[in-house]
Amino acid sequence: MRKGAVGIEYFSIVPNKGISLIEELEDCYNQLTQYLNNLEINKINIVKQTLFVSEFNNTDYLETKIKLTEASKLFFQSNIPTSIVPQPPLNSSHVAMEFVIVDSLENTEIRLKKSGKCEYAVIQTPKYILMFAGGLGSDKQTTDIYAQSMDAFEQMYGILLAENMDFSNVVRQWNYIEKITDCNDKNQHYQIFNDVRSAFYGNCNFIHGYPAATGIGMETGGVIIDFIAIRENKNLTILPIKSPVQSDAHQYTKKVLAHNETAGNEIVTTPKFERAKAIISGNSCLVHISGTSAIKGQFSVEANDAATQINFTLDSIYQLTSVNNLQKQGINSAHAKITPCYFRVYIKNSSDYPKVKEATEKYIKDVPAIYLKADICRPELLVEVEGVFTIDL
């Protein structure tokens, strides 16, 4: 895969053999070793891993986390930022793995650090400081989404503070929320999360826009947050990218927002994210595409069919990253080479996997993608897609 402006590469691995979870994990790490050997790079260049597992209750999930964490430490001989997400891979395996690799450039230092119980990685170069964190959240067996959201954001705040950053430095965020559209009494889980996020974001000046973000469901696990932050300087330009198809999520009206009595009847906050975020350095640009579903304006597309929704979603992403739209956002893309590099595809119903995969592959052809079972942030939505693009300007 190609790396973008800040030398980041995403790739995923699914097991080719193995019967048990640990056997599949061992096979994935063997594939990873071969991949790194082919690139002639070291494990230290892996700065984040996400493991997607098939677990459906909190007890089994916590036991699996312990096993996978121990296996990870044994392989890496260190504690790299790790997120273990209970979203079943849709290739019938117990586990699928996603990794982030950064370049080892001259005068680049990669440091693994810890804030409280949270591991994170700091990449310091002459041009910028880049930070990766994963697996933020509580291990408590509770369904209190408000408390879980607070714990995760407090951990996020602590890491940012330790590196002299704040929430405005975050360029990409992943938000995994247990039973995302369910309600505690009258309070929807996703809306509770959004209200907590808005409270933590409230004191920051987002001069480069909000982060690109995904808000996605999982069967168990409470709330998990992963993020990437950058302390930029004059060598970097960071831009939010607006969609020609979809309204800014942070400008949604109450017509599409759920109710949350814990915040008061008159206070309903919006999801604070941009449709995409561009990081530009010289003639190179990396674009993170937020989780995208079949939404036109602010309303869901009226089609209770996963194939229709995936086609609309992918078309929206390609309009978002079109030359014309990028130029409107201030990116000089008239002669640019725009390349999709990586996709995650979330599917609500496992039975829709074959037709969603077929439709997706027609759009992205040979681009690596991982397919996961996950609930989407609105009950009527069946598919969500996020991605990474590079642009040679």
**359-373 pLDDT per residue, tens:** 999 999 899 999 999
As given in the structure block, the two tokens for residue 276 are: 């995409």
pLDDT band at 343 (very low <50, low <70, confident <90, very high): very high
Q: For helices 58-76 and 21-39, give the axis angle rounded to 10 degrees.
A: 30
Which ranges constitute the DSSP H helices of the chain?
Answer: 21-39, 58-76, 145-162, 189-201, 306-320, 323-328, 353-364
Compute the average pLDDT of residues 385-392.
Answer: 96
Say how far apart CA 231 and CA 208 lie, in whole Å.
Answer: 12
pLDDT above 90 (res 381): yes
| Residues 6 or more apart whose Cβ sits within 8 Å of residue 196 | 146, 149, 150, 153
Q: Which of 367, 371, 314 is closest to 341 using CA atoms?
A: 367
How confident is the model at residue 354, as a pLDDT? Answer: 97
pLDDT band at 120 (very low <50, low <70, confident <90, very high): very high
How confident is the model at residue 2, as a pLDDT? Answer: 56
270-315 pLDDT, tens digit each: 999 999 999 999 899 999 999 999 999 999 998 899 999 999 999 9
pLDDT above 90 (res 265): no
pLDDT above 90 (res 189): yes
Give me the phi and psi of 120, to 5 degrees please: -150, 165
pLDDT above 70 (res 267): no
Q: Which amino acid is it at 239?
A: L
Helix (H) or strand (E) holding 296: strand 295-296
311-340 pLDDT, tens digit each: 999 999 999 999 999 999 999 888 899 999
The fold adopted by the segment(s) 8-392 is: 60s Ribosomal Protein L30; Chain: A; (3.30.1330)
Between the CA of residue 66 and those of 84, 116, 224, 334, what are the distances in Å?
10, 18, 16, 50
pLDDT band at 126 (very low <50, low <70, confident <90, very high): confident
Q: Give the DSSP per-residue string, 110-141.
A: EEEEEETTEEEEEEE-SS-EEEEEEEES--S-
pLDDT above 50 (res 218): yes
- The full set of domain ranges for the chain reads 8-392
Determine which of 57-61, 142-146, 195-199, 320-324 has the lowest per-residue pLDDT on average. 142-146
How confident is the model at residue 261, as a pLDDT? Answer: 53
| Percentage of residues in the chain having pLDDT higher than 90 | 83
60-118 pLDDT, tens digit each: 999 999 999 999 999 999 999 999 999 999 999 999 999 999 987 677 899 999 998 89
How confident is the model at residue 140, as a pLDDT? Answer: 73
| Percentage of residues in the chain having pLDDT higher than 70 | 96
How confident is the model at residue 127, as a pLDDT? Answer: 82
How high does pLDDT run on average in the chain? Answer: 93
How confident is the model at residue 241, as a pLDDT? Answer: 98
